Amino acid sequence: MQHSSIVGGSTAKRVISCPGSVALVKKMPPQPSSVYADKGTMLHEAISEILSDKSIIVGQYKYKDITLTEELYAEKIAIALDALDEIDPHGDLVYEVETRVGFGDLLPGVFGSTDLVGRIGDRALVLDWKFGDGVVVEAEENAQLMFYAAAAMRTEALKWAFDGATEIECVIVQPPVTRRWVTTPERIATFERELVRAVKIASQEDAPLAQGEHCRWCAAKPICPQMTGAVDRAIKQQIVNLDIDTLAQHLHTADLLEDWIKDLRALAFGLLEQGATVPGYKLVQKQARRQWVDEGKAAQWLIAQKINPTKVAEVISPAQAEKELKKSKVALPDDLVVAVSSGTTLAPVDDPRPAVQSFIGLSKALSKL
């Protein structure tokens, strides 16, 4: 799905609260996709197909490597469809799914994609599926839904849903819970004015930055002066001298800084994986665990040593075998064992483990041969 580089539904709250973040986020490398994001995309696409009367086969429907299993269908899609039945018990809802919406000349380059926009009687409906299990999303005063409502009202393909509507219902369906908030076209118009103002400020060179809850999902955290300034202040602060109010204040900052640290490490790891240099850091193999090269062969050898090689129908690990062999003072042959690392990790440059040539860096180097 394409995203506006200025502001979209999911970034509306951040841009309104911190207009300076637009320029900072543009300086960051693109965020790599994750299994969680891919799972969300698969579920969004699956429910969109179902609501468009296209048939999908549970157990076969896929997005990238993620399959719509029976379990996922029951846990997410079936509950989401039930929620829609509750919202529209008599089947009066007329709707469109997965529609690109924008603001035209009012805000060029600002657009998003709605999950579902529809109409029941005098009420327009703007609905968003949230298939993640983590953070609970409220519908009331939800900037993402207000963004979609405002943009949909200006989009030719969806104007019909708002024509003459006296109410606009914003709905978050986050299985197993549905949250609903009814507002007015006037509230959406006020939101749109706030958005236009924020986008205008964001285009200025000295657009202000403002820290808050919205920082949580901001990709610019690692380079944000608000965050790095907080780190400097935290480092200089003598914890023992903190009064209780300052301590409470700092605990809040600590949450933001924990996210900042996580994003900072992820950024450095991603850059190193792409072959970039991060002074003082390198990629190294995570601790390697030995495993049998051929479990059958290893079992035969252990039996010959009078050692039971199985542990509840499993071949014992090389470490367990070594422990057993100690009793008979027999060494484990090198050719039965191989050390396999579970991946790379970030480490200081003086870490004793050897630096790993990143796969991408290696491919680039090999392509030059």
What is the DSSP secondary structure assignment for residue 281, as one 8-state letter?
Answer: E
Q: Is 21 in the site for ligand SF4 (CB under 6 A)?
A: yes
Interface residue with ligand SF4, options 7, 12, 16, 18 (CB under 6 A): 18
Interface residue with ligand SF4, options 13, 14, 39, 130 (CB under 6 A): 14
Positive or negative, the Cα torsion across 138, 142, 148, 153? positive
Q: Is 24 in the site for ligand SF4 (CB under 6 A)?
A: yes
Q: Is 226 in the site for ligand SF4 (CB under 6 A)?
A: yes
The three-state secondary structure class of 106 is helix
Residues 336-355 that bind ligand SF4 (CB under 6 A): none
Q: Per CB under 6 A, which region of 43-51, 205-213, 272-280, 281-289 contacts ligand SF4?
A: 205-213
CA angle 349, 269, 264 (to 5 degrees): 100
d(Cα 165, Cα 121) in Å, to the nearest integer?
Answer: 8
Q: Is 15 in the site for ligand SF4 (CB under 6 A)?
A: no
Closest separation in Å from C-beta 210 to ligand SF4: 6
Is-contact 218 17, C-beta < 8 A?
A: no
Q: Would you say 213 or 351 has its CB closer to ligand SF4?
A: 213
Q: Write the DSSP string, 18-85.
A: -TTHHHHHHTSPPPPP-HHHHHHHHHHHHHHHHHTT----TTT-EETTEE--HHHIIIIIHHHHHHHH
Draw the binding track, 276-305, toward ligand SF4 (x: CB under 6 A; -: no contact): ------------------------------
Closest separation in Å from C-beta 213 to ligand SF4: 9
Residue 29, Cβ density class (10 Å: 0-12 exposed, 13-18 middle, ≥19 buried): exposed
Interface residue with ligand SF4, options 48, 67, 190, 211 (CB under 6 A): 211
Interface residue with ligand SF4, options 127, 198, 199, 227 (CB under 6 A): 227
Closest separation in Å from C-beta 216 to ligand SF4: 9
d(Cα 62, Cα 102) in Å, to the nearest integer?
Answer: 29
Q: Would you say 174 or 226 has its CB closer to ligand SF4?
A: 226
Q: Is 218 in the site for ligand SF4 (CB under 6 A)?
A: yes
Contact residues for 343 (Cβ-Cβ < 8 A; gap 6+) = 285, 286
The three-state secondary structure class of 172 is strand
Chain residues that interact with ligand SF4, rule: CB under 6 A: 14, 18, 20-21, 24, 209-211, 214-215, 218, 220-221, 224, 226-227
